[in-house]
Structure 1
Amino acid sequence: MSNFLLFAFMCICLIILPGPDTAITTKNTLSFGKQGGFQTLFGTCCALCVHTFAVIVGLSAIIVKSAILFSIIKYAGAIYLIYLGIKTLLSIKQDMNSDMSEIKSSKGHSFFLQGFLTNLLNPKVAVFFLTFLPQFLNPAENSWSQFLIMGITYIVLTAIWFILYITLIQRINVFMKKPKTQKFIQGITGAVLVGFAIKLAFEKAAFK
């Protein structure tokens, strides 16, 4: 591939932009600590692996060019984000002094799934992989191997950024764990997730 350093720099700029992945990671880290954050991140990275595989074998191109497939994934993602957003807003009514270990044991298994589905059901990620990655292809080299390298690079940079992000949240967790602050953040996060869902619902494919 060509201009690898430029590609890595552009990836970093795109990764740090807030999106559904950031919102769900923030929510789970604030509510359940590093365990929630890292499991969510693992789910996100696994979904990015699927997107990488999809662009290598050409599935992303099929999805983006098919209005039906694009719409199905788009609306499924929007519905899931609305579900998470409403669930977060409703959680504000729960007792803030409830046993956290009990909450973790009952919901811990869903952190990975939340991160995985939030990213996987976002067709904008498929569009990004299909439109951004080819700009750095070297015509003289094998395309699938270049896509693989770029996909792995993006996943690694995503993991590094969110590890730093989760660690930062944990360092200011004393303030964040104040009941009023928790309720405020949960309210904002829930509203943001619903907002992302509405935006996603009106998203159009780059190609038809």
Structure 2
Amino acid sequence: MLTTLVAFLGACTLVAASPGPSTVLIIKQSLHSRRSGFLTVLGNETGVFIWGIVAAFGLTALLTASEVAYDVMRIVGAVVLVGFGIQALRQARRTEGAEQDAWQGVHKSGWASYRGGLLLNLANPKAAVFALSFLPQFVPEGAPHLPTMIGLAALWAVYEVGYYGLYVWFVGRMKAVLSRAGVRRRLEQISGGVLLLLGVRMALEN
């Protein structure tokens, strides 16, 4: 079991290190405050755990079996990504004073940060399908399938909280540089553009 856990955590590290929409959103929110960034991480990992539970019960197999269901989720996910991208680009175009007001609004609304991370993860059908294919590989032979997969899903989510927490911490350490209006505006533009492109790609892919 120890060997399985080591292999599982190694695989989780590779998964987390692969850049994706969640990584972009976490860094973007961390530009506002560590609180916003960490709550975005918690929202994202709640989504990871939910998909793990759904996969444990085999329900995500419905997405792979139904092209219509998958396409609906894919379009919803694309809309969510484009929405986040447009929001970031709008923030980038505001004046420095307006940007400070926006920072304060995001800082005060922890629920908005948590909800954003959760929504982005749950609206991504790839996350559901990946959980279905990823978790069963690490269930030891002879182990009870359902409780083991639920335990692995919980471990996966908790581990990624720590991993992405390092991103939040690093952005916070760079706050003196990143808080400059010009730098922050450029980073908002980059993150917004990346989220838009990811949304368009998701909408157009087969």
Question: Is the structural similarity TM-score above 0.5?
Answer: yes
**Counterpart position of 2:163:** 161
**CA shift at 1:202, angstroms?**
3.8
Q: TM-score, normalised by structure 1?
A: 0.90
Deviation digits for residues 109-128 of structure 1, max 9, x if unmatched? 31111100101111111111
- Which amino acid counterpart does residue 162 of structure 2 have in structure 1? I
Q: Which runs of 5+ in 1 are unaligned?
A: none
**Counterpart position of 2:55:** 55
CA contact (8 A) 2:52 2:135 kept: no
**CA shift at 1:139, angstroms?**
3.4
Change in Cα spacing, 1:150 to 1:198, as seen in structure 2 (3 Å) is: same
Secondary structure of residue in 1 paired with 2:191: helix
Q: TM-score, normalised by structure 2?
A: 0.91
Cα distance in 1 for partners of 2:28, 2:138 equals: 34
Mapping 1:90-129, distance limit 5 Å: 90-98=90-98, 99-100=100-101, 102-104=104-106, 107-129=109-131
Mapping 1:4-15, distance limit 5 Å: 4-15=5-16
Q: Is 1:64 aligned with 2:64? A: yes
Greater fraction of residues in helix:
2
**CA shift at 1:89, angstroms?**
0.7
CA contact (8 A) 1:64 1:126 kept: no
Secondary structure of residue in 1 paired with 2:94: coil
CA contact (8 A) 1:56 1:147 kept: yes
Mapping 1:121-160, distance limit 5 Å: 121-160=123-162
- Which amino acid counterpart does residue 144 of structure 2 have in structure 1? N
**CA shift at 1:97, angstroms?**
2.5
**Counterpart position of 1:194:** 196
Cα distance in 2 for partners of 1:38, 1:139 equals: 36
**Counterpart position of 1:81:** 81
Larger mean CA deviation between 61-70 and 100-109 belongs to: 100-109
- Which amino acid counterpart does residue 91 of structure 1 have in structure 2? Q
Deviation digits for residues 66-120 of structure 1, max 9, x if unmatched? 1111111111011010011011111112122234464236754311111001011
Cα distance in 2 for partners of 1:58, 1:8 equals: 22
Cα distance in 1 for partners of 2:138, 2:6 equals: 10
Secondary structure of residue in 1 paired with 2:33: helix
Cα distance in 2 for partners of 1:80, 1:144 equals: 31
Q: Which runs of 5+ in 2 are unaligned?
A: none
Larger mean CA deviation between 59-68 and 103-112 belongs to: 103-112
Larger mean CA deviation between 89-98 and 38-47 belongs to: 89-98
Change in Cα spacing, 1:203 to 1:147, as seen in structure 2 (3 Å) is: farther
Deviation digits for residues 158-204 of structure 1, max 9, x if unmatched? 10011111001100111111111111101100011011112222445
**Number of matched residues?**
203
Change in Cα spacing, 1:140 to 1:106, as seen in structure 2 (3 Å) is: closer
**Counterpart position of 1:3:** 4
CA contact (8 A) 2:82 2:199 kept: yes
Secondary structure of residue in 2 paired with 1:53: helix
Cα distance in 2 for partners of 1:203, 1:107 equals: 34
